[in-house]
Structure formats: C-alpha cells, structure tokens
Amino acid sequence: MYTDLSATSGYQMGKLTEISIMEDLFDCWVKEFRGRKLPTTHKKLSKLLTTKNYGLKEIIDIGGYPIPIPQSEDDYKKLSKFVLDLPQKAFEEYSDKISGVILIIDEFQVLKDLGGRLDAFLWFLRSVIQNQ
C-alpha cells in the first residue's frame, strides 16, 4: 500500500493529526484491497462501529415526541489499533491471494507537523510494526 502524507486531507487543511493519518491509512488500505478484488464492506462497517465512542447528545421535543440526537467522536486508541492491525489481519485472512503486505509512506517529513506529539507517534508506530 502506498500513501503520500502530503496529500492527506489533514495536512492539506493544516491540521495534521494522528487521527487524520490513521484515516488516510485506512482509506489507502481499502483502496488497495478493492484493487486486488478483496472484500471491503465488512472492514468499513467494522471501522464505523468499533473506532468511535457513541453517546446521546440531547433529546429534543418535536410535536410532543422525544427525539434522541446521537453523537459520536473518534477514539484514537481504538482507531489506531483497528487500522494498524488491518494489514496483519488481511494477510492472515487472504494468505491464499496475497503473499505479504508492504506499507510505503511518501513525504514522511510532513509528520513534523505533529509537533510535540511526533516522538510518541513514531514510538507507537514502531512498537506496532515490531509486534507484527
């Protein structure tokens, strides 16, 4: 899988975050899976259901009927685990169709925009890759 960090929406908007990087990696993995004709629907649904925290924002009254207004927020820990485990799981699931998984990150230097969070992000990334 190939990703160009300078083309991510987070970087383009001047708001590169760990979450925007993980979202980009997920999108690139899905694109690569589709290109290899591997199923992606359950991966998208799993991401939607397992990587966010859901709650009730408020209950509004419409014509005497209470209507709940849901809210969701990204959970970086859940999202990063899901996205970074995805290549290993794909390899295990489709080992009859693929012989390995490679991640190529272009424009790596834009990670400097993470500022003081850069070291923690790189150590986290390294530990995940080492365990795989």
pLDDT digits (tens, 9 = 90+) for 48-59: 788 888 888 899
pLDDT digits (tens, 9 = 90+) for 18-44: 999 999 999 999 999 888 888 887 788
Global pTM reads 0.81
Encoding tokens for residue 88?
A: 């290993």
> Could you give the CA distance from residue 54 to residue 39 in angstroms, rounded to a whole number?
26
First-to-last alpha carbon distance for the chain, in angstroms, is 16
Taking phi over 0 as left and psi of -120 to 50 as alpha, with beta for the rest, 107 belongs to left
Q: Where are the domains of the chain?
A: 2-131
Local structure of residue 51 (DSSP, 8 states): S
Encoding tokens for residue 76?
A: 């970086």
Instruction: Write out the DSSP string of 82-107.
Output: HHHHHHHHHHHHTTTT-S----EEES
